[in-house]
Chain A
Amino acid sequence: MSETPGSETPGSETPGTPVVRVVGLHREYGREAGLVRAVDGVDLEVAAGETLAVMGPSGCGKSTLLHLLGGLDRPTAGEIWLSGQRVDQMSERALGRLRRDGVGFVFQAFHLMDELTAVENVELPALLAGRSPRAARRRAAELLDRVGLADRASFLPSALSGGQRQRVAVARALSNDPLVVLADEPTGNLDSEATVDVLRLFEELHEAGQTLVVVTHDARIAATADRLISMRDGAFVDETRLTGGSSGQLGALAGLEG
């Protein structure tokens, strides 16, 4: 309990160290009759390279959980570790650094800066992290190319479609090579075609070994995960591994059998 932030040697984590480890996590709001247990006793481990989806009805606490993981909010009780580093007790400054360098966020409403072009949005985290403008621009251009928007680099967000904006947001989330990408309803504002673009992009990230945690109630994006957790009333109620499953018969899906 008395460990101070940063007391772990950087890079000391062994290959088996989970990227995310959460123990006995609670987040409460209000008090007495108005007490809300948004996160009510959650334990979780996410392995390196794993894609985890958390599903549940609105108000089940899944967004609060994501905010806690990314250091946007602090728990009432419990521990949060990212790659062997305890983050829930970090100083504000250390937490700010973690949000900038260790975590990539993707939000439902994109949260791009309207007055900056696509490439400027993407390079911003790298500039804030102290990289040279040239290195930051080069990296941003690479990332835009990776999300298929190299030709839109100089466009303002207002000139992009919803799906394109979300792809810019994903590129921005990758800017500082985060330990984990945290996505909150990434397809919530997208039509079906743009959703498929984001699905493809997430699959590519997964193949490239990026650790991903997605909270959503879009079954399509949840179905791309390795593992799915259902959340209700602040707690995990069901967990399932979607990879290596039992079904495996596309013909049955088409109703061709029997």
Chain B
Amino acid sequence: MQQEVVLALLAKEPSHGYELRARLGQALGPLGDSMNAGQIYVTLARLEKAGLVTSERSAGLADRPDRKVYELSAAGQLRVAGWLAEVSWPKPDLTEFHLKLVAAAAAGLADPVAMVDTQRRELLRRLREAQRAAMAEPDGSAAGLLLEGIVLRLQADLRWLEECERNWTGRRRPS
């Protein structure tokens, strides 16, 4: 789990680990289902070690991580502010596939058009899944918004594959 994500979840108010998990679950919906429940506690422990988070045991019961209330330290607050202000964007990961096609065609090792077909099959399966999950979310759901973004990116990737197909089909033909 990315440290900044956990810090930012904590920015609202001092919280138990399970409260952070609930916030994350709400934002991710079905996308968060595969997450390991322990991940947040592991990250919280690291953050505490790094001085970005402090904790206090609530109710003085057994020394279990879920009894602790965590709070951002001053350094933690600074880190969250920096993270929110940072302009970053997930990289479209097209270069590797593009280079695969170029190399396969140049060496005659594989048919780039067949590689495009294989890739398309996989992306369409993902699109199907993301779309079904998106349509199952109620209106105004935060997770639905994320799923919609994933659907749009997959659509863009599939459109690019169409361009790849056109390009490599053209080159394959004897001129």
Contact = CB atoms under 8 A, between A and B. Distances in A.
User: Is B one of A's binding partners?
Assistant: yes
Interface of A: 57, 196, 199-200, 203, 217, 219-220, 222-224, 228, 230, 232, 237-238, 240, 242, 245-257
Contacts of A240: 121, 124
Interface of A is mostly: mixed
Report which residue of A248, A249, A256 has the largest number of chain B beta carbons within 10 angstroms of its beta carbon.
Answer: A256
Interface in B122-175: 122-131, 133, 135, 146, 150-151, 154-155, 158-159, 162, 165-166, 169
Given A247-B122, A250-B30, 17 more contacts: A57-B162, A57-B165, A57-B166, A219-B123, A219-B124, A219-B159, A220-B151, A223-B124, A232-B165, A237-B117, A238-B120, A240-B124, A251-B35, A253-B31, A254-B28, A254-B32, A256-B28
A253 B129 contact: yes
Contacts, number: 81
Contacts of B129: 247-248, 250, 253
Chain B interface size, as a band, is: 20 to 34
B131 A224 contact: yes
B131 A199 contact: yes
A250 B150 CA distance: 10
Contacts of A200: 135
Contacts of A256: 28, 31-32, 34-35
A220 B127 contact: yes
Given A250-B31, A256-B35, A238 B121 contact: yes
Given A219-B154, A238-B117, A255-B90, A228 B130 contact: no
B128 A224 contact: yes
Interface string B21-38: 000000010111111000
Contact of B135 (A199, A228, A255): A199
Contacts of B127: 219-220, 223
Given A238-B121, A256-B35, A250 B131 contact: no
Interface of B is mostly: helix
Nearest to B153: A253
Interface of B: 28, 30-35, 90, 117, 120-131, 133, 135, 146, 150-151, 154-155, 158-159, 162, 165-166, 169
A199 B135 CA distance: 9
Given A196-B135, A230-B120, A240-B121, A253 B158 contact: no
A169 B127 CA distance: 26
A252 B123 CA distance: 12
A251 to B, nearest CB: 3
A54 to B, nearest CB: 13
Contacts of B158: 219
Nearest to A196: B135
Nearest to B150: A253
Contacts of A199: 131, 135
Contacts of B120: 230, 238
25 contacts: A57-B162, A199-B131, A219-B123, A219-B127, A219-B155, A219-B158, A219-B159, A220-B131, A223-B128, A224-B131, A228-B121, A230-B120, A237-B117, A238-B121, A240-B124, A242-B124, A245-B125, A245-B128, A247-B129, A250-B34, A251-B31, A251-B34, A253-B129, A253-B150, A256-B34
Nearest to A200: B135
Contacts of A245: 125, 128
A141 B126 CA distance: 37
Contacts of B162: 57, 217
A84 B129 CA distance: 34
B151 A232 contact: no
Given A200-B135, A220-B131, A254 B150 contact: yes
Question: Nearest 7 pairs between A and B by C-beta?
Answer: A251-B34, A254-B31, A223-B128, A245-B125, A223-B127, A219-B158, A240-B121
B167 to A, nearest CB: 12
Contacts of B151: 220
